[in-house]
Chains A and B, each alone.
Chain A
């Protein structure tokens, strides 16, 4: 069995109004060195197989078809063996 951890980031060319708004909060806190705040997603789940190649394919399908929208987001993932 594998533990998958997926990180989804918005492409640099896509606006992130949420990140901008949150960064205003940093300014109000006096954290003046904070720049370029971008908000993404972190998703974790298990993959019930012992075949790493099959797990990678399934996670990639999950990311590409559902978890991320490839038009505006990039994703990366790690698989950890948790037998």
Chain B
């Protein structure tokens, strides 16, 4: 049986079709859109909260989307061990919903950053990274104005102790510096998982790094990892 992916559509989501396209075209997956006003997750095996500007980013990014009817079902699904991925705005929604620790603030430069970045994969032993075989880094694009991840010292220690930091912004060679950090994130953090390892939030867009027409395909290893974990 094919694995089912559900892509949530909030008012203002704009990477929902990117996720749909990548999963359908390159993995022949069974993908459905989940409208934010619905409660039914349509028996999804994996739920994706896509990038975009849900509710116009009003108040705080993700703050209003977090109270959409579908989110109660997503939180329930996550708490029962279901696989949930938040990409960009989706990551912000997961933070606001309390499914992942920390907060997101404006990029240090105050500028919207839209470019390819390199990520060092800090934990390859996750549902989301087990098929990533690059030794130094993967190339994935970012596009955000508020991707500056902040966590207090206690939260940061807990993230490190539990191996929850999955992706860090790095150079192509996998080294960390201020130059390789596009937004000022604490510890160059680009993506984290929850303690149980079934919820991931990341600012970069793996769905935009699947089609060779776009000049990079490292995002495919991310989805291959998930599919391999499911089967």
Report if B16 contacts A (CB, 8 A). no
* Distance A72 CA – B148 CA, assembled complex (angstroms): 13
Interface pair B63/A17, CB less than 8 Å apart: no
Write the chain A residue with the least CB distance to B106.
A17
**Distance to closest chain A CB from B189 (angstroms):** 14
Interface size on B, residues (CB 8 A): 18
Known: A17-B148, A17-B184, A18-B110. A69 touches B105 (CB 8 A): no
**A residues near B102, Cβ cutoff 8 Å:** 71
Q: Is A14 at the interface (CB under 8 A from chain B)?
A: yes
The residue that A69 contacts in the complex, of B63, B64, B108, B109, with Cβ under 8 A, is: B63
A17-B107 contact given A66-B59, A69-B63, A71-B102, CB 8 Å threshold: yes
* CB of B179 closer than 8 Å to a CB of A: no
| A18 touching B106, Cβ below 8 Å | yes
Instruction: Assess whether A53 is interfacial by the CB under 8 Å rule.
Output: no
Task: Tell me if A17 and B103 are in contact (CB < 8 A).
Answer: no
Asked whether B108 lies within 8 Å of A17 as measured between CB atoms, the reply is yes
Where chain B touches its partner, the secondary structure class is loop
Contact B152 A13 (CB under 8 A): yes
Min Cβ gap B105→A in Å is 6
The answer, yes or no, to whether A67 is at the interface (CB within 8 Å) is yes
Point out which of A13, A21, A69 has the most chain B C-beta atoms below 10 A from its C-beta: A69
Given contacts A17-B107, A18-B106, A72-B105, contact A67 B148 (CB under 8 A): no
Q: Residue-by-residue, is B94-132 near A (CB-CB < 8 Å gives 1, otherwise 0)?
A: 001000001101111110000000000000000000000
Complex-state Cα separation, A66 to B96, whole angstroms: 9
A49 CB → nearest B CB, Å: 22
> Residue A71 contacts which of B64, B103, B109 (CB distance < 8 angstroms)?
B103
Residues of A within 8 Å of B172, CB to CB, are: none
Q: Cβ of B152: which chain A residues have Cβ within 8 Å of it?
A: 13
Name B's A-contacting residues (CB within 8 A): 59-60, 63-64, 67, 96, 102-103, 105-110, 148, 150, 152, 184
